[in-house]
Amino acid sequence: MILVTGGCGFIGSAFVLQWLAEAGEPVVNLDLLTYAGHPGNLASLADDPRYVFVRGDIGDTALVSDLLRRHRPRAIVHFAAESHVDRSISGPLAFAQTNVVGTLQLLQAALEHWRALPAAEAAAFRFLHVSTDEVFGSLGPGDAAFTEQHRYEPNSPYSASKAASDHFVRAYHHTYGLPTLTTNCSNNYGPRQFPEKLIPLVIRNALRGEPLPVYGDGQQVRDWLHVDDHCSALRAVLARGAPGATYNIGGRSERANLQVVHTICATLDRLRPRADGRAYAELVTHVRDRPGHDRRYAIDDSRIAGELAWKPAVPFEEGIDRTVQWYLDHADWVESVTSGAYRQWIAQQYGAPAEAASAA
């Protein structure tokens, strides 16, 4: 069994679904169900005996320690985080609390659990910390891509909080010997991503005939990674990664934000043309740039490719096609996660954090 934190979020839910489909090993999912955590992401597992959902906070040491004692997971896969840069600019303290203090409390609980394990179980145990390439800061147009040795230069409260959590994970390995693994991934996209991020926001606004906001000149470059590729990389790291190591995970798909927006518009023109026959690209609206907006991220994935024989399998154009089609087919999901009714349902369904048999 493995313990996943934040498994109702975008990447976490994709990982749980892929894990149970490919590995089949039981999963305990600990998620606080904040605004971006949606138990409906895992509704298909409602009757799956391999899946246990627990509503709770990674910072609740008593709860985490009890879960570790009762379920005895062989690994912790840590997704739970505040992750949206804009929100971190307006409210940085929440990011420090969840991403730094919460991760530290989870590490301490994991350390105590690991120390109590029999020798064979302790040797096999892993703590996999899922982080971001944003900890490395910004690159110029001609700069070499980020390697695992790149200097940390976070430029937003979000990336600073993730950098701090990365350092604590490293410290727990080097100081206490906890067998940790850290991954730094590029921008993810795919189904079930909360529509405050660029790709689902553009899809939603376009379908509603609303402006498609693009920061500044839209030439900020990101390396786009399909969430299914990210999850397969995490499975490879968990299975074959060296304790204490970090691995960069990228999609080998550098694109400027404006190019991404136009790709989505062209895909919608083909799959769901506007009633008036006009192009979706006419809705593109340039807005004031984000404070401290990093210009370019790029991933050098030589280490994970060479050591773990992993590389991305989903080309960007195919991934965008699949993603747009998913949102077209799941308009009810978009409405459910963006309406007040969803938060009311969470309160009625769960009330105070408690353990349940499944996510639905």
Catalytic residue among 82, 133, 228, 294: 133
Do residues 359 and 28 make contact, with C-beta atoms less than 8 angstroms apart?
no
Q: Give me the catalytic one of 31, 57, 158, 327.
A: 158
Active site residue 335: no
Measure the CA–CA gap between 119 and 125, rounded to whole angstroms: 10
Between CA 181 and CA 309 the distance in angstroms is 17
User: Rounded distance, CA 33 to CA 337, Å?
Assistant: 11
Active site residue 342: no
Strand segments (E) across the chain: 2-5, 27-31, 51-55, 75-78, 126-132, 180-185, 187-189, 212-215, 221-226, 246-249, 254-256, 284-287, 355-356
Known catalytic residue: 133? yes
Which among 360, 161, 201, 221 is positioned nearest to 285, based on CA atoms?
201
CA distance readout (Å), 24 to 1, 2, 54: 10, 11, 19
Selected catalytic residue, list 134, 223, 294, 301: 134
Q: Token pair for residue 132?
A: 């971001």
Residues that are catalytic:
133-134, 158
